[in-house]
Structure 1
């Protein structure tokens, strides 16, 4: 992926007057990062072979990614595949969406590529893939104010083709344009065997356009703080280049990223294997990434006392006007009923929704302004929430 270049020294970031603090609940989540998961998933990634465009190994890896997310409790409705042509072959990006509770239309993206070139790519970028897995697993049931997109890109090794396609055909083709809070890229974080791997490089935007550099500087500062709060790693500040955050950077989005400090000599070779990596280093990076994503997406800071259904289902916008969106989160139901009840106890709207999408939209045309009780029912459970129509 990245060529070996001399690092450019930067001045230390100026810390905000409002310093981040350790959040005990976030720490308890970070402590659940599993070293055995890291090792097992790195082994499975390696065993899938050379994941080059047009190969069965690339498709098998995509199938493995989907199966892994399903095992964490994400549903098929939360997954989207975006196909693009790479040379003469079709490749796919996989996007898993977790809908936020307060800002469902604003996204924190955590991403990394799963394609490889020449070798099996256990470091570049199996290490990023398994790190994202742990973040996705641990945040699956925790409410976050902002929506999260977990993205596994293909086509990175052919010139960032997959991420470029996603920005042009998804981010910019959304109407209105997709609102991205930040992009957190994780690429090649496996470290080197037989070396002390105790530092992670945190990358900020220093390129053009320059209008997003200050914001990138701020979030990278926050990333550094999260590393120090939630992992034993030291941090090294550097610049972003040559990975899947670059098409976002060119699109004026705010980016940050992780990259190993002890760079491997095995990149893009047949020896990019687990034996030449440091899985403990990946484990510590997964802890840092989990803490960072809890912070960036503004996760709940305590265990919720709500029912599991209440944790999953979300109605927005609030207040509503012409329409109401219903998000199922990671709830997996083939049919549900949605109704609105006014203050007089009259049912003014009822819809049965079969084979629902992740987000369904209900028209509020004809309903008077005021407060209503929204009722979401499945065959087993019933959830009620107050909403306001203005």
Structure 2
């Protein structure tokens, strides 16, 4: 237990440093500016037209098929429909995976439920469904260091059935390495009200070992919402949505929920005309900025430019007995990460336009990848330690 608490504390220190350094990223901002209100409105209209999406209904099955077809139309191929039984019927979680460039086996989960109760649920949670689809569209061809899983859960309205099933039947048995769970639930606002604030949710419950890291991640979320949208933020505690099973499993979680809570949830009046689509547009922009920070989006340099930058950094001797020199003849300062063959980060440093020596004698013999990164771009080199 002490080791777990210590690791959580160290992670909190690292995340706190990241929070303090968080500024507007021009590359991320360019992607965020492509968020389409027309796409969001079209998906909300389709979601509403599919009807009341309760377990054991054709409407829920049709919504599942529609979500899958949307990802296929975006070019995603790693789509899993995870079946589970409830109340005498079968329904499905929909899991879409986008593989990361540096940490392919570590995941940022962006999730929300697509089932509804007593009505079409256009806000609860058609808003989250449309938002996640728009994030998936814009992240499709963006390199991210961490893998992303877009997950649409079923059975949330029946007591988090789908997310519990996923944690118990995928996360736990596979020891899934989760960087963060980012939950989106009911973020469509209320028509006729001033919707200018979004609630960012952090973990305040047991087990407490993940609370500090959740607080740091939630602050990153709040910062991103204010950097990439016009919204103000408020931080509150997480409860009653699909991040809870992850939270109970000790994962780091955060989430979003509308500030003006709709009076129409779980009724036949939870429809598009009672929402504020402009508010959802801003929530989507901020969420995309946050997702890029969480998964670490990187700009593709192109082969020629990447080769040109790589040629200006020399590593010697290579192979090495543990001491390596990095000579940088470019005009850029690089942050560096050294990864082992499993893709785990084992060393970090930085180099400016001079020669820097690194003592890697504490690392095991073998092959490592050195990742050189500027603000938005990166390239890699291989080293061998004898």
* Aligned mates of 2:114, 2:25 — CA distance in 1: 32
Report the Cα offset of residue 228 of structure 1.
0.9
The answer (yes or no) to whether the contact 1:219–1:256 under 8 Å persists in 2 is yes
The answer (yes or no) to whether the contact 1:112–1:185 under 8 Å persists in 2 is yes
The answer (yes or no) to whether the contact 1:318–1:387 under 8 Å persists in 2 is no
The answer (yes or no) to whether the contact 2:230–2:282 under 8 Å persists in 1 is yes
* Aligned mates of 2:92, 2:242 — CA distance in 1: 14
> Tell me, what secondary structure is at the counterpart of 2:204?
coil
1:345 corresponds in structure 2 to none
* Aligned mates of 2:216, 2:118 — CA distance in 1: 37
Task: Give per-residue Cα distances to partners, 1:301-343, cap 9 Å, x unaligned.
Answer: x343149xxxxxxxxx97549xx9xxxxxxxxxxxxxxxxxxx
Report the Cα offset of residue 386 of structure 1.
8.4
2:53 pairs with 1:55: no
1:256 corresponds in structure 2 to 254
1:122 corresponds in structure 2 to 122
* Aligned mates of 1:318, 1:251 — CA distance in 2: 27
Task: Give per-residue Cα distances to partners, 1:45-73, cap 9 Å, x unaligned.
Answer: 00000000011111100110011111112
Deviation beyond 6 Å, 4+ runs, structure 1: 385-390
Q: Which of the pair is proportionally richer in helix?
A: 2
Report the Cα offset of residue 19 of structure 1.
2.5
* Aligned mates of 2:383, 2:166 — CA distance in 1: 35
Aligned residues: CA RMSD: 2.2
Report the Cα offset of residue 387 of structure 1.
7.1
Gaps of 5+ in 2: 1-14, 305-337, 344-365, 369-379
2:32 pairs with 1:30: yes
The answer (yes or no) to whether the contact 2:201–2:235 under 8 Å persists in 1 is yes
Partner of residue 194 from structure 1, selected from 192, 195, 207: 192
The answer (yes or no) to whether the contact 1:183–1:253 under 8 Å persists in 2 is yes
2:285 corresponds in structure 1 to 287
Partner of residue 39 from structure 1, selected from 41, 44, 48: 41
Task: Give per-residue Cα distances to partners, 1:1-56, cap 9 Å, x unaligned.
Answer: xxxxxxxxxxxxx9757330111010000000000001111000000000000111
2:91 corresponds in structure 1 to 91
Alignment length (residue pairs): 304
The answer (yes or no) to whether the contact 1:110–1:149 under 8 Å persists in 2 is yes
> Tell me, what secondary structure is at the counterpart of 2:63?
helix
Report the Cα offset of residue 370 of structure 1.
7.7
> Tell me, what secondary structure is at the counterpart of 1:110?
strand
> Tell me, what secondary structure is at the counterpart of 1:138?
helix
The answer (yes or no) to whether the contact 1:320–1:388 under 8 Å persists in 2 is no
Task: Give per-residue Cα distances to partners, 1:151-174, cap 9 Å, x unaligned.
Answer: 000000000000000000000010
Report the Cα offset of residue 86 of structure 1.
1.1
2:214 pairs with 1:212: no
* Aligned mates of 1:137, 1:217 — CA distance in 2: 28
